[in-house]
């Protein structure tokens, strides 16, 4: 079975289903990014402060406390499970687009690496590996770029005439 470019030949009803799914998925994904921006200032030190607290900073505008074991395990568990499902579905859609094989493989595999580095990195940061905040920041950025690129490609090819 030829998968490369299959998305272009799908029936209109399936294309509408995929389009509606990708729109809602994108709203959820980018809302999550807004939340990250609000809670961690979207920078390495803000990430560190969000998970490790800032009790020692007498000048802090908002007092934060180190996340508990339960909070961290819940966060890592929920995000790894949900993001792996999200990227499995997006990767499945990317697999039926018409793309260069190497780019397609990158867009399909990279998000899984970024999910592991981002949320595994948050856990390592929480247990004291402070330099992981830079890995978390970079992998989160790369995950977002990959998600955005994948969804743009899916949309462009979804409504392309066969």
Q: Residues 25, 115: contact at Cβ < 8 Å? A: no
Predicted local confidence at residue 41, as pLDDT: 63
Domain ranges in the chain are 6-155
pLDDT at 1 over 80: no
- pLDDT over 90 percentage in the chain: 72
Query: At which residue do the structure tokens 């402060």 appear?
Result: 49
Q: Residues 44, 58: contact at Cβ < 8 Å? A: no
Query: Quick count: other Cβ atoms within 10 Å of Cβ 53?
Result: 15
* Long-range pairs of 105-108 with CB within 8 A, sequence gap ≥ 24: 106/146, 107/146, 107/149, 107/150, 107/153
Write out pLDDT tens, residues 4-62: 889 999 999 999 999 999 999 999 999 998 988 777 667 888 888 888 888 777 777 77
Predicted local confidence at residue 162, as pLDDT: 63
* Averaged pLDDT score across all residues of the chain: 92
Distances (CA, A) of 58 to 75, 143, 157: 28, 35, 53
Q: Residues 111, 94: contact at Cβ < 8 Å? A: no
* Long-range pairs of 13-18 with CB within 8 A, sequence gap ≥ 24: 15/158, 15/159, 18/93, 18/154, 18/158
Cα–Cα distance between 122 and 138 in angstroms, integer? 12
Work out the average pLDDT over 87-115. 97
Complete DSSP assignment for 29-90? HHHHHHHHHHHHTTSHHHHHHHHHB-TT-TT-SS--BPPPHHHHHHHHHHHHHHHHHHHHHH
Cα–Cα distance between 93 and 89 in angstroms, integer? 6
């Amino acid at each position: 079975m030829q998968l490369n470019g299959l998305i272009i030949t799908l029936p209109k009803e399936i294309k509408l289903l995929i389009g509606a799914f990708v729109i809602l998925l994108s709203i959820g994904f980018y809302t999550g990014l807004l939340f990250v921006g609000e809670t961690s200032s979207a920078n390495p030190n803000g990430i560190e402060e969000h998970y490790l607290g800032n009790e020692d900073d007498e000048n802090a505008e908002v007092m934060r406390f180190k996340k508990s074991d339960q909070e961290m395990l819940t966060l890592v568990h929920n995000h790894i499970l949900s993001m792996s499902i999200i990227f499995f579905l997006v990767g499945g859609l990317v697999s039926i687009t018409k793309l260069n094989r190497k780019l397609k493989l990158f867009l399909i595999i990279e998000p899984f690496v970024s999910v592991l580095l981002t949320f595994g990195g948050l856990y390592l940061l929480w247990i004291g590996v402070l330099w992981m905040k830079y890995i978390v920041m970079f992998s989160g950025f790369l995950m977002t770029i990959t998600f955005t690129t994948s969804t743009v490609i899916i949309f462009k090819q979804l409504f392309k005439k066969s």
